Chain A
């Protein structure tokens, strides 16, 4: 029983980065922009958050805000490439990852931020509720971001589904020609979606360093950005299923340290492969199930060039 409580209590912390990153990707991709740079934005967010925590005396939430802003700033470069200059979105996404890997390692090393622990975001305490047996640990002893993530999901779902802006954004991703003809500024909508989406991905990265590990290590996002991309396909570009997928991966990641803690003798590195193997399995499962293409924005990955209309 203790094992289960300890395990489940750790799940939200591991699930939040996947959830926020997947949500950010959904916003980009709903607008028709294929964003393979998630791993890069997570790194930038994680480093920016850790840098603020180490060099300024501010609240961790401020550090998280800087994480989001830093990733948003980098996303302007990506937007310039794919939206204004119509560069291939696959290459642009990949090169953003390489750029971010180099940049974060360079800045963190030269500032001496690497491998320095700090006190990050702490768990909330709801008094009596938090001391309830079992449930208290799992539901009422989490940090603020865990609860905020659910709020962010609700807001994004509402905006995408029920507002004018959300409707136009989806139109831009499904049929940019029609949206353009209806007077929607396609380029600006896509730019906005990329910046907002990447800010959420940066927030996910910031959460990794500021709330989970409370330290910066080069390349610390460890492939979570790529897993988030797979999660979006798995969730068929819908936010709530993406959250469910994120919780599933949170369960797997939270299990890894738990198994070691109870003294299970498993080959460590094979256990560490688990999230990637499961992601592959999830991708296979997604493609085996019926109507696998449903949900993918029709214009995903295609640059919009008005003057090229046929």
Chain B
């Protein structure tokens, strides 16, 4: 392994005092995974300590996170039903990040996707047999619409997409509130909900617990994303562009076209995620159906380093946190915000642990 050090560096004081920072050469994949796993364990440990401080008994922790979840079919099903939309949104994030387009507007695209699907459901567009397909297409179109504007501004005017996609979240949320408190409010409900979807507008159950088609669809999407990133020519070209952008440009690869393809796919997937949540979990539009999915999607893609299979793995991890968080809320009055906090802690620990993949500290002689 090649390490680069510069002799003069030792002469001046390092930021780390008596330690010098060295850049590592490449670390083998197995070792890298060990480092990341250590980061995750550290994050979970800190989170566990936080929960104990908040009044959960250590035995209760084991009970809620391990025993309750893996010994009850109902809880396994609950974890999987959350994991499906989390996977879809995580894949949406991964596709955009892979193309170096910081799509922080997943939440807005999820909201728009659900709005698109509900629009179709409210007006009963199309024959009942095709209703779900039309709803899914409308959701994807709405997601594309919502990423389209920031994407256009980024490509044509170099407007920073981090901020523009984020602003679109707030616009989408206000649009949702407008619909739910106004034209789409179900008169029979005391809450700002849309009316319940008809039976043909809900995802079919697959015959085990309360799971529905969302799960196999999510698995299929993982495989499709893996093919797109790993085996298709677009994935290959994208890797090539990141390895050597100047060479890629000289060879006439249309970098803008690639960004466009992956970012639009990201918007479509996020919109599809909104479709899955509204038809598969809530069966209607509510003012908080999307909470947590957008942000979790971003964190999942980061933890998974944009690898579709790892996205599915971390989506399940986050789903476990969500299910355990719900029972902690009921039995220990721990606010549900704890789930978001734990996710952030895990990501911080993993991000920090990556330091040891890229650098090493060596004591100054």
Contacts and interface: CB of A to CB of B under 8 A. Distances in A.
Contacts of B210: none
B59 interface: no
Nearest to A93: B162
B15 A185 contact: yes
Interface string B154-166: 0001111011101
Contacts of A292: 158
B250 interface: no
A90 B160 CA distance: 12
A106 B341 contact: yes
Contact of A105 (B22, B167, B335): B335
Range of interface residues on B (Cβ < 8 Å): 35 or more
A50 B153 CA distance: 38
A272 interface: yes
A122 interface: no
A253 to B, nearest CB: 13
Interface in A79-99: 80-81, 83-88, 90-92, 94-95, 98-99
17 contacts: A77-B348, A85-B351, A85-B355, A86-B359, A95-B347, A98-B347, A102-B337, A187-B15, A229-B163, A233-B160, A269-B174, A287-B158, A287-B159, A306-B6, A306-B14, A307-B21, A308-B4
Interface stretch (B175-183, B193-201, B239-247): B175-183
Interface in A254-279: 267-270, 272-273, 276-277, 279
Interface of A: 36, 77, 80-81, 83-88, 90-92, 94-95, 98-99, 101-106, 109-110, 180, 183, 185-188, 218, 222-223, 226-227, 229-230, 233, 267-270, 272-273, 276-277, 279-280, 283-284, 287-288, 292, 305-309
B102 A87 contact: no
Max chain A C-beta neighbours (<10 A), residue from B4, B162, B175, B298: B162
A222 to B, nearest CB: 8
Contacts, number: 150
Contacts of B163: 226, 229-230, 233, 279, 283
Interface of B: 4-6, 9, 12-16, 20-23, 54, 102, 104, 149, 153, 157-160, 162-164, 166-168, 170-171, 174-175, 177-178, 181-182, 295, 298-299, 302, 335, 337-345, 347-348, 351-352, 354-355, 358-359
A81 B350 CA distance: 11
A287 B158 CA distance: 7
A284 B21 contact: no
A307 B9 contact: yes
Given A98-B343, A99-B345, A90 B159 contact: no
Given A86-B359, A270-B174, A283-B163, A105 B337 contact: yes
B53 to A, nearest CB: 11
Contact of A287 (B157, B168, B340): B157
Contacts of A283: 153, 159-160, 163-164
Nearest to A36: B162
Nearest to A186: B15
A307 B22 contact: yes
Contact of A273 (B20, B171, B354): B171
Given A86-B355, A87-B355, A284-B157, A95 B22 contact: no
